[in-house]
């Protein structure tokens, strides 16, 4: 199983265009935002006395959104491509079962999706710590750890949801469109349910993510269970489709 996981990791990383874009675009956004802060500070330090610190690190929300989009694309693409490219047929000829293949790919995908998001996070953190931020609170280890956890959970969970959708739909373009629509719009629309049934609010994905990373007064146990159930449902749908797919 380890050999298959390593082979899957190499196969995913072989998509250099997608992987490099997923790494470079968030980094470019960090550099642009930092450059703007430096420019404003150099031209009007009175109005813009700080460059780094919490002011700069607050842009992590933008990096998080972009990283979720790329994680979704990666998950949907790799979920659909086995069937569209014929890879599944050749893997099954080796005697490796569909179930083991599917389960093996879940952690590999999560590692890749989160891994491409980390360089931009690290760069933003370095900038927030190193650049001038006199008179403003600096970024603490607690802040960094909390936001890192938020990034890992958001990117990882949405990538796994997209992977399940990709396997179920078996069309790369369609899977990406559906996964992006669901992850960026559809899941947020579930919040409307709370207007009629307030009791389901802690079970909604966005609320559970917020509870685990930022705290709150709702049950942490419910939030953790919700974070497990949401991707598990989509992965289960993908698994049923994978077991029934003709190689």
CA distance 117 to 159: 12
Q: How far apart are the first and last CA of the chain?
A: 20
- CA 182, 183, 188, 194 dihedral sign is positive
Per-residue pLDDT of 21-67, as tens digits, reads 999 999 999 999 989 888 887 887 777 667 777 777 888 899 999 99
Query: Structurally, how many domains does the chain consist of?
Result: 1
DSSP class of 217: S
- DSSP notation for 24-57: HHHHHHHHHHHHHHHHHHHH-TTT---SSHHHHH
**Cα dihedral sign, 23-26-29-34:** negative
Does the pLDDT at position 128 exceed 70? Answer: yes
- Whether the Cβ atoms of residue 113 and residue 180 lie closer than 8 Å to each other: no
Helix (H) or strand (E) holding 184: none
Encode pLDDT of 148-168 as tens digits: 999 999 999 999 999 999 888
Is residue 247 scored above 60 in pLDDT? no
The parent domain of residue 65 ranges over 2-244
Residues 6 or more apart from 143 whose CB is under 8 A from it?
A: 54, 57
Calpha distance 115→123 (Å, rounded): 14
pLDDT in tens, 78-123: 888 766 665 655 565 566 677 777 888 899 999 999 999 999 999 9
Confidence check: pLDDT of 187 > 80? no
Separation in Å, CA 135 to CA 27, 40, 113, 128, 132: 27, 17, 37, 14, 9
* Exposure letters 181-205 (e unless 16+ CB within 10 A, then b): ebbeeebeeeeeeeeeeeeebbbbb
């Amino acid at each position: 199983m380890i050999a298959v996981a390593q082979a899957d990791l190499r196969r995913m990383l072989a998509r250099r265009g997608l992987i490099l874009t997923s790494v470079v675009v968030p980094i470019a956004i960090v550099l642009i935002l930092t450059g703007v802060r430096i420019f404003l500070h150099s031209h009007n330090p009175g109005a813009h006395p700080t460059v780094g610190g919490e002011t700069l690190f607050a842009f992590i929300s933008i990096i998080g959104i972009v990283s979720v989009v790329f994680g979704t694309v990666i998950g949907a693409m790799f979920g659909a491509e086995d069937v569209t490219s014929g890879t599944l047929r050749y893997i099954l000829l080796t005697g490796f079962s569909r179930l083991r293949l599917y389960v093996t790919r879940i952690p590999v995908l999560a590692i890749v999706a989160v891994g491409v998001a980390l360089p931009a996070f690290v760069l933003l953190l370095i900038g927030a710590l190193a650049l001038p931020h006199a008179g403003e609170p600096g970024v603490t280890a607690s802040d960094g750890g909390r936001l890192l956890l938020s990034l890992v959970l958001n990117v990882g969970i949405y990538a796994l949801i997209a992977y399940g959708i990709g396997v179920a739909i078996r069309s790369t373009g369609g899977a990406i469109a559906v996964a992006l629509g669901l992850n960026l719009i559809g899941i947020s629309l579930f919040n409307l349910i709370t207007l009629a049934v307030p009791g389901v609010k802690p079970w909604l994905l966005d609320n559970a993510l917020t509870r685990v990373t930022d705290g709150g007064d709702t049950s942490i146990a419910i939030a953790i269970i919700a974070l497990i159930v949401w991707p598990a449902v989509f992965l289960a749908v993908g698994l049923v489709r994978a077991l029934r797919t003709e190689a």
